[in-house]
Amino acid sequence: MADTEIPIDARALPAWFSDAKFGVMVHWTPSSVPGFAPNLGRIWDVPDQFKNSPYTEWYANSLRIEGSPVAEYHSATYGAETPYESFGPEFRRTSTDWRPQEWAELFQRAGAKYVVPVTKHHDGFLLWPSAFENRHAPPHWRTARDVIGELGEEVRNRAMRYGLYYSGGLDWTFNATPIRSFADFRTAIPRETEYVDYAFAQWEELIDRYEPACLWNDIFMPGPRERLEGLVRSYFERVPDGVVNDRWKSQATSEGMRATSYHDFTTPEFEVAPDIREKKWECVRGIGHSFGYNRVEQDEDYASAEELIRLLVDIVSKNGNLLLNVGPRSDGSIPDPQVDRLERIGAWLATNGEAIYGTRPWVRAEGATMDGTPVRFTHARNTLYAHVLGPLGAEVRLPGVRPPDGAAVRLLGRPGALSWRMEAGGLVVAVPAGPAPHPAAAVLAIPTG
């Protein structure tokens, strides 16, 4: 069946996903026990990126690469003969005191509209009580609690959507081939019938039990195309307004894994579109350089709240969502720098959310004031929102913007209308003295009709 005949491509993208703009992903696995990866920067900028991976959730793979920073750390800390699987019992024990309501409350304060936790990452460890046995995994290779079910209840009680991540393309309990380059994915992806049946059965179980708002598969989904199409069809029957990401059928390239079919939206990782994309997309990234908890990362290693707010604005102006990841410690506590960033994003959204939620791209995403301060544009409800990514000054001059005569131009977070005039080249808005808007971005609301 051609891609255009797949039901995903024939249906409109559910409005809730276009409206949501901001979600939180959670990577919580046994790798949070050692919680180590070299802190060398963004994944795409790291030399020999698998040997030196900044992703702690890839600890088990890095451990199998001789001479890697993880292998050296592991040998010095736990002993070279200690297997990764030894972290399972410790994670199972420490995670029993986890408080899902605290996570959900934090994500709500952050202004997130959807939450996507990892159900199974590449290490094969499960965060829900699956009925399907993995005879290759160590005993009790899952959490003692139904993490996925408990978190879902708390998230939905706070009016957020609940999606699920599943590693379909890698499971190191079935295939532990070390991945040293993108070419190794061809042999590292388990394709035997036993694994294909297991992965499909678990996705079907997750859909049946938790009815996720989003299916967020990772890397690949081995098995015949018809079986994948059947899974997607049955999912939409169960969750008519669900959405599906792009990491189901893909190909390995020198630049990473690129999707070829089966998606409502694309998922660039630690990357942002250069301009407005017609197809919905979602930037997925950590607050730091890892997804899982990394004890090496300190406050200065995380993106600042101002950077993340500006990133969110930039993404939304280009028809994207931001799925921002948190990496809890093994006991479920979220590091303070991550909490701080989420709460400060939430504070900005509490004032400026009307310029984010439910908006759509304008005729252009980017611009600048006449003095060179960057601007991003969003549009909704007959209103153009100009996000000024820097100091406002006494006047803001916006070339190429003209409101209707008599329009009430507002500065979000300040009461009343602002004085404005048109001069050659654009709109000039007078900003009254007073407490400065948030340093990350101040938003002018300009009627368009």
For residue 353, give both structure tokens.
């959310």
SS3 429: strand
Over residues 320-324, mean pLDDT:
98
Question: Domain ends where: 355, 377, 406?
Answer: 355
State whether 276 and 402 are in the same domain: no
Highest mean predicted confidence (pLDDT) among 245-259, 279-293, 419-433: 279-293
Query: What span, in angstroms and rounded, lies between the C-alpha atoms of 22 and 323?
Result: 6
- 369 and 336 in a single domain? The answer is no
CATH of residue 177's domain is 3.20.20.80
Range of the domain at 94: 3-355
Regarding whether 63 and 166 lie in a shared domain, the answer is: yes
Query: Quick one: average pLDDT of 265-278?
Result: 96
| 403: CATH | 2.60.40.1180
Q: Which residues pair with 118 in a beta bridge?
A: 165
Q: What is the mean pLDDT of residues 292-305?
A: 97
Question: Do residues 409 and 332 share a domain?
Answer: no
Query: Is residue 203 located within the same domain as residue 283?
Result: yes
Same domain, 310 and 389: no
Average pLDDT over residues 389-417: 94
Residues 344 and 375 both lie in one domain: no
The pLDDT value given to residue 220: 92
pLDDT band per the 50, 70, 90 thresholds, residue 433: confident
Domains held by the chain: number: 2
Q: Using alpha carbons, select from 287, 292, 256, 247 the residue that is nearest to residue 84.
A: 292
Question: Residue 436: pLDDT above 90?
Answer: no
Main-chain phi, psi angles of 214, to 5 degrees: -145, 135
pLDDT of residue 11: 82
CA 63 from chain centre, in angstroms, equals 26
For the chain, what percent of residues have pLDDT higher than 70?
A: 95
Amino acid letter, 390: G
pLDDT surpasses 70 at 1: no
Looking at residue 439, its pLDDT comes to 84
293 and 366 share one domain: no
- Per-residue model confidence (pLDDT) at position 136: 98
376 and 265, same structural domain? no
Can you say whether residue 406 is alpha, beta or left, with left for phi > 0 and alpha for psi between -120 and 50 degrees? left
Whether residue 299 is found in the same domain as residue 191: yes
DSSP reduced 3-state for 324: strand
- Whether residues 339 and 411 fall in one domain: no
Q: 21: left (phi > 0), else alpha (psi -120 to 50), else beta?
A: left
Q: How confident is the model at residue 93 (pLDDT cuts 50, 70, 90)?
A: very high
The answer to whether 2 and 303 are in contact (CB under 8 A) is no
| Residue 425 pLDDT level (bands cut at 50, 70, 90) | confident
For residue 261, name the pLDDT band (cuts at 50, 70, 90): low
Residues 430 and 349 in one domain: no
Q: Are strands 360-368 and 383-388 parallel, antiparallel or unpaired?
A: unpaired
Final residue belonging to a domain, choices 327, 355, 383: 355
| Token pair of 432 as six digits | 């009254």
Q: Of 355, 381, 398, which residue sits at a domain end?
A: 355
pLDDT at residue 423 in the model: 93
